[in-house]
Amino acid sequence: MTPTEYEYLRKFLKDNSGLDLSADKQYLIESRLLPLARKAGLSGIAELVQKLQGGSRQLMTDVVEAMTTNETFFFRDKVPFDHFRDHIMPEIIKARAAKRSVRIWCAAGSTGQEPYSLAMSLKEMGAALTGWRVEIIATDLSQEVLEKARAGIYSQFEVQRGLPIQMLVKYFKQTGETWQINPELRAMIQHRQLNLLHDFAQLGTFDVIFCRNVLIYFDQDTKINIFNRLARQIEPDGFLVLGAAETVVGLTDTFRPIPERRGLYKPNDPRAAVAKPVLAGAAPRMAVVAGR
């Protein structure tokens, strides 16, 4: 791959998926895109770049999908799901007692293990949610992972990663070598294609947003832009949950961490944030707060 081809692909990926590759990731591009080029009957990366430049829509989608990292598993990192059960949901249940409705968005839900972990956690809450309207929206950039998420079918290996055995027995049905999550849980989730770089205001507002292990792939300005737009989609008393390697600290004051609960963030009152004096020498973005 020539430096020019690499630069073209880097920019293409940044513009289309947010993926921010450093200058030394040629091997990653080659390992992911060479098999794709061969499958498409192309001689190599050079021809693939030519086709992209020619505007091949299918190839654009395929390249973006091939470069996404879809790693996920049930109850990944455990702690956020403990917080969801022990802190987030008890607060929401109290606060929404009159309305009896809760909306949860699992942004970048990949092949479904994360939204299904949330659905199982909600089911385990039993009577506390009887009569409630519970909505879970799971989105992802990749159509391929969404198809798998919709089907809710997992291999033996996948159900052995993070899923407690009693939940496997209770919520899945075995067919041959695979396990399918039960129809009631599948029906709790709406799976939709969505690129976090694009406008997501149409999704409405949420009580809880899980946005984990996707922002790590983006540069600072993209993260800030997404945090500021997430802040407009979250209820003032809602919760944002980020991955273990992600934080808002130093990027935006639209959210604040809950110190004793790792990975959990509350939206700041935008009026309070706007009224805050800007300190001399502070990075300008720290004072910018998106309107709600």
Ligand X SMILES: C[S@@+](CC[C@H](N)C(=O)[O-])C[C@H]1O[C@@H](n2cnc3c(N)ncnc32)[C@H](O)[C@@H]1O
Cα(195)–Cα(258) distance, integer angstroms: 27
Measured in Å, how far apart are the chain's first and last C-alpha atoms?
45
> Whole-angstrom Cα distance, residue 264 to residue 72?
19
Contact string (CB under 6 A) for ligand X, positions 72-91, x = contact: x---x---------------
Q: Which stretch binds ligand X (CB under 6 A): 32-40, 64-72, 97-105, 117-125?
A: 64-72
- Give 265's strand partners: 240, 257
Q: Are 89 and 125 in contact (CB under 8 A)?
A: yes
Shortest Cβ 130–ligand X spacing (Å) = 29
**Please, what is the minimum distance in Å from the beta carbon of residue 284 to ligand X?**
25
Smallest gap from residue 110 Cβ to ligand X (A): 3
- Distance, CA of 2 to CA of 242 (rounded, Å): 37
Output 17 or 268, the one with its CB closest to ligand X. Answer: 17
Quick one: 59 or 108, whose CB is closer to ligand X?
A: 108
How many C-beta neighbours within 10 Å does residue 74 have? Answer: 22
**Among the residues of the chain, which ranges form H helices?**
3-17, 26-39, 45-53, 57-67, 79-83, 89-95, 113-124, 143-151, 156-159, 165-171, 183-186, 220-232, 270-275
Number of residues that this document lists for the chain? 292
Question: Which residue, judged by CB position, is nearest to ligand X in the bound state?
Answer: 72
Contact window for ligand X (CB under 6 A) among 4-12, 62-70, 83-91, 227-235 = 62-70
Ranges within 199-218 binding ligand X (CB under 6 A): 212-214
Burial degree of 40 (CB within 10 A; 0-12, 13-18, 19+): middle
Taking CB under 6 A as the rule, does residue 247 contact ligand X?
Answer: no
Q: Is 286 in the site for ligand X (CB under 6 A)?
A: no
Which of 5, 6, 9, 17 is in the footprint of ligand X by CB under 6 A? 17
Tell whether residue 71 is a contact of ligand X (CB under 6 A). Answer: yes
CB closer to ligand X out of 114 and 158: 114
Binding positions for ligand X, 106-165, rule CB under 6 A: 108-110, 114, 140-142, 145
Q: Does 68 bind ligand X (CB under 6 A)?
A: yes
Please, are residues 31 and 209 in contact by the beta-carbon 8 Å criterion?
A: no
Nearer of residues 103 and 148 to ligand X, judged by Cβ: 148
Question: Residue numbers of the site for ligand X (CB under 6 A)?
Answer: 17-18, 68-72, 76, 108-110, 114, 140-142, 145, 195-197, 212-214, 243
